Structure 1
Amino acid sequence: MYQQLVTHNGKFHADDVFASVVLTRLFPELPLVRTREEQVTTDEHNFVYDVGGGEFDHHGIDDQRKHENGVPMAAFGLIWQSFAEQYLEKIVPDMGSDMIANTKKHVEKSFIIGVDALDNGVSEYQSPSFTISDAINDFYDEDNEMVSFKKAVAFAKGILENRVQKTVAKLIAEKEVIENATFITDELLLLPVSGPWKDYAEQFDNLRFVVMPRKDGNWMIQGVPVSHGSFEVKQPIPQIEKPWITFIHRTGFMGVVDTKEHALELAMMLIDGNCN
């Protein structure tokens, strides 16, 4: 059994802070030490990460470990790769194995890869204004490193655990959406329940519109994005005037009508090219 958690001292970064969030959750009984002393970082009784050249240090010149999209792994990604399942079981107990696997993948894709990219200097992931690394580094005080590091870990803990909880909720809601979805045509999908749908819809090349209920009792027709994360839709909705149309967004990505029947009617009008 390990005696302590060990990472580097000096200025900390988002990758070692978030790695510490995972490890302190899994090993709450272990003290956390920040040092570069070789005697400590090479001690096999210590769990060492982001320093020391071991399994969870990514600074080796020949280190080729990467995420699926080619971004090099930093300490956060390496820890997540090995311990995500155990961590998720702590955060959201009683999850099935499929949900754990999906949550692990989604959190990695939506969050962890970005942190690792920033730590490894992958420029296309770097924001010109403010990043999670900036937020983490705001806690750094070289006159009191350990106190500021613990503050950063506490801050990061809230971010990561919230991301996990939201991802699980999204996956559960998405599952319900998919189970109740009906293809009216290969270009039109009806969702009798509202919830996350874009990840599912984007896999169908011909799909142009999705119809779904709104919480206010109205119904909505929404265009399918041209690509993941895009605000551009395959077929914008023009400004059509009908007594049952409540609103069409000026960009044409969505419209609101009074009933499901009218939403489907509008969608078929657009698909057929009959917008009069």
Structure 2
Amino acid sequence: MYQQLVTHNGKFHADDVFASVILTQLFPELSLIRTRDEKITDDENNFVYDVGGGEFDHHGIDDQRQHENGVPMAAFGLIWQKFGETYLKTTMPTITSDLIVKTKAHVEKSFIIGIDALDNGVTTYQSPAFTISDAINDFYDEDHDLESFKSAIAFAKGVLENHIYKTVAKLIAEKEVIEHATFISDELLLLPVVGTWKDYVEHFDKCRFVVMPRKDGNWMIQGVPVSHGSFQVKQPLPQINKPWIIFIHRTGFMGVVDTQEHALSLAKSLIDNSLL
């Protein structure tokens, strides 16, 4: 059994802070120290990461470990790869094993790769917006090194857990959508339940519109994006005045009507180019 968790001292970054979130959860009995003292980092009785040149340090010149999209791994990715499923089982013990596997992969793709990319200077993921890495680094206080590191861990723990919970909810909702989805035609999908649908619909090139209920009792017709993450849709809705049309967004990406029947009728007329 390990004696203590060990990572580098000095300026910390999002990758070692988020890695520490996982490790302090899985090894709560171990104390955490920050040092570059080789006597400590070379001690096999310590769990050492992001320093020391071992299994969980990515700073070696010849380190070729990377995510599926080619982004080099940092400490966060290396720890997630090894302990992600165990961490998810500990954090959400009631979810099924297949959902754990899907959640692990989704969180890596949607969150961890970005952290690892920033730590490795992969500029594709850089943004002028304030990043998670910026927020983490703001906790650093040179005069109170360990205390500020632990404060950053507490912040990062909330961020990571929130992302995981939302990912699980999204995957469950997406499963419901797939089970209940009905293609009225190749170009029109009816969803009788509210849920995440865009990732699913991306697999169907011809689909142009999705009709689904709203929580307020009305129905929505939404255009399918031209590509993943795009705000542009394949066929925008024109501005149409009908008593049963409640709202059409000025960009045409979606509209709200009073009933499922009217939503389907509107979608079919747009597809057939026979405006009501």
**Given the two structures, how large is their TM-score scaled by the length of structure 2?**
0.99
Out of 179-188 and 240-249, give the one that drifted further: 240-249
What's the secondary structure of 2:47's corresponding residue?
strand
Deviation for aligned residue 1:274 = 1.1
Deviation for aligned residue 1:244 = 1.1
Deviation for aligned residue 1:170 = 1.0
Distance 2:259 2:129 in 1: 43
Instruction: Please tell me whether residue 56 in structure 1 is matched to residue 20 in structure 2.
Output: no
What's the secondary structure of 1:161's corresponding residue?
helix
Distance 1:94 1:195 in 2: 21
Instruction: Map 1:34-45; keep pairs closer than 5 Å.
Output: 34-45=34-45
Instruction: Map 1:1-276; keep pairs closer than 5 Å.
Output: 1-276=1-276
1:40-98 Cα shifts (integer Å, max 9, x gaps)? 11111111100000010000111111111111110000000010000000111122111
Partner amino acid, structure 1, of 2:261: E
Deviation for aligned residue 1:129 = 2.7
Distance 1:143 1:33 in 2: 15
Structure 1 segments unaligned to the other structure (5+ residues): none
1:1-53 Cα shifts (integer Å, max 9, x gaps)? 11111000000000000000000000000101100011111111111100000
What's the secondary structure of 1:139's corresponding residue?
coil
Q: Aligned pairs, how many?
A: 276
Deviation for aligned residue 1:134 = 0.5
Partner amino acid, structure 2, of 1:262: H
Distance 2:129 2:252 in 1: 29
Distance 1:96 1:83 in 2: 17
List, as ranges, runs of 4+ consecutive aligned residues in structure 1 with deviation greater than 2 Å: none
Deviation for aligned residue 1:178 = 1.1
Distance 1:187 1:62 in 2: 50
Partner amino acid, structure 2, of 1:264: L
What's the secondary structure of 1:250's corresponding residue?
coil
Identity of aligned residues (%): 79
1:174-197 Cα shifts (integer Å, max 9, x gaps)? 111111110000111000001111
Deviation for aligned residue 1:203 = 1.2
Distance 2:129 2:179 in 1: 40
Partner amino acid, structure 2, of 1:162: N
Out of 223-232 and 9-18, give the one that drifted further: 223-232
Distance 2:57 2:159 in 1: 23
Partner amino acid, structure 1, of 2:79: I
What's the secondary structure of 1:171's corresponding residue?
helix
Distance 2:111 2:229 in 1: 14
* Cα RMSD (Å): 0.7
Distance 2:36 2:71 in 1: 26
Deviation for aligned residue 1:173 = 1.2
Distance 1:63 1:208 in 2: 45
Distance 1:107 1:82 in 2: 14
1:177-230 Cα shifts (integer Å, max 9, x gaps)? 111110000111000001111111111111111000001111000011111111
Distance 1:174 1:116 in 2: 27
Partner amino acid, structure 2, of 1:109: K
Distance 1:64 1:203 in 2: 32
